[in-house]
Structure 1
Amino acid sequence: MSKNGLLVVDVQNDYFPGGRWTLSGMDQASDNVAKLIAAARAAGLPVFHVQHVMEEADSPFFTKGTIGAEIHAKVKPAAGEALVVKHEVNAFLGTDLKAKLDAAGVKNLVVCGAMSHMCVDAATRAASDFGYKVTLAHDACATRDAEFDGVKVSARDVHASFMAALGSYATLAPTADVIATTLKKG
């Protein structure tokens, strides 16, 4: 039987209201992340937390040593849960994330977190490329408005566009379905 695991990407203080890089819908998304974490813990499944830390003192957010870079209180790692600190968009790049997943025997990976169009996108694609069966809890992710070539794109549309594209790399499902089917005792 393939082992399931949960990957929580960058649910950090700077993404919440009052932070330096506020995301649209982060409170609701993080509530769903917390539900996923609780379900994984109850089922005895491994939870892997990713924390993005920027080394540059003038970084726009997640600056090393700041409260904004800390993982939000709603989703703090429990004792024994893996914490992977990254310095790039992709949680696998320059980290031991894959080694930790493999050591835990994870084959099926549930992904959630922020930002939909950056770090969640990169982690989902990389996990699929590494051969993991990926489920993306689409309502446990958040993003923000974007702009390209003078065209403003709402966070809702950014999120929808990236979820549509990630359907080629992952099974997309709402939190309640992920809990009922993937993050249960097996």
Structure 2
Amino acid sequence: MTMATSAAQLSALLVIDMQRVLFEPSPQPYQAEPVVARINRATTSARQMHMPVIFIQHEEPHSEIDYQSDGWQLLDSIMHEDGDIYVRKTTPDSFLRTNLQNILQELGIKQLYVCGYASEFCVDTTVRRAAALGYDVTLLDDAHTTHDKVHANGDQIREHQNRTLTAISSFGVTISAISIEQFANA
């Protein structure tokens, strides 16, 4: 076992909210297609490193993102496999009232790589909560996205999150950001 394989086995890749209802209506999130391609590259690389891939899916009862509804499903263009892990959530925090923490503990995970949707909500909240729980977190800085808002476009929001999250040191763990290229070539 190489050092890279050993480190990968202590790591997991979280893919947050890459669901139909969030991407298929117009307008699409910022750089939707390139982000999907980067996430597919990340999941492929993670599996090659024997790193667990965990898909997190948001749901709201009696809505277009109700559990198992068409809108709740992962995008058809997102590559997922039977060996992947799936977590359901109802808030921007992928840990709150979910089994994610138990899964990570059972797998002995110490490091999380995070990508997905929405940069300023579910990605942000999950990164902060993971750090508060003691996980080192690496944000895949070009593999998360959001929709344009009145106050800022998707590019500005993503850049803001990349800079803001990595500036947090008060949790006592490392929050860093790398490109999909760096992740895939690790």
Specify the code of the residue in structure 2 equivalent to 1:177: Q
Matched, 1:166 2:172: no
Distance 1:92 1:21 in 2: 29
1:67-118 alpha-carbon deviations (Å, 9 max, x no partner): 2211112324311321001111111011010110111111111100011011
Does the CA-based 8 Å contact 1:19-1:68 persist in structure 2?
Answer: no
- Aligned 1:1-186 pairs, distance under 5 A: 2=7, 3-16=10-23, 18-19=24-25, 22-57=28-63, 62-147=65-150, 152-169=151-168, 170-181=175-186
Report which of the two has the higher share of strand. 1
Distance 1:107 1:140 in 2: 21
**TM-score w.r.t. structure 2 length?**
0.86
What are the ranges of 5 or more consecutive residues in structure 2 without an aligned counterpart? 1-5, 169-174
Distance 2:88 2:15 in 1: 12
What are the ranges of 5 or more consecutive residues in structure 1 without an aligned counterpart? 182-186
Specify the code of the residue in structure 2 equivalent to 1:175: I
Distance 2:131 2:78 in 1: 24
SS at match of 1:153: coil
Specify the code of the residue in structure 1 equivalent to 2:37: D
Q: Aligned residues: percent identity?
A: 25
- Size of the alignment, in residue pairs? 173
Change (3 A) 1:20 1:93: farther
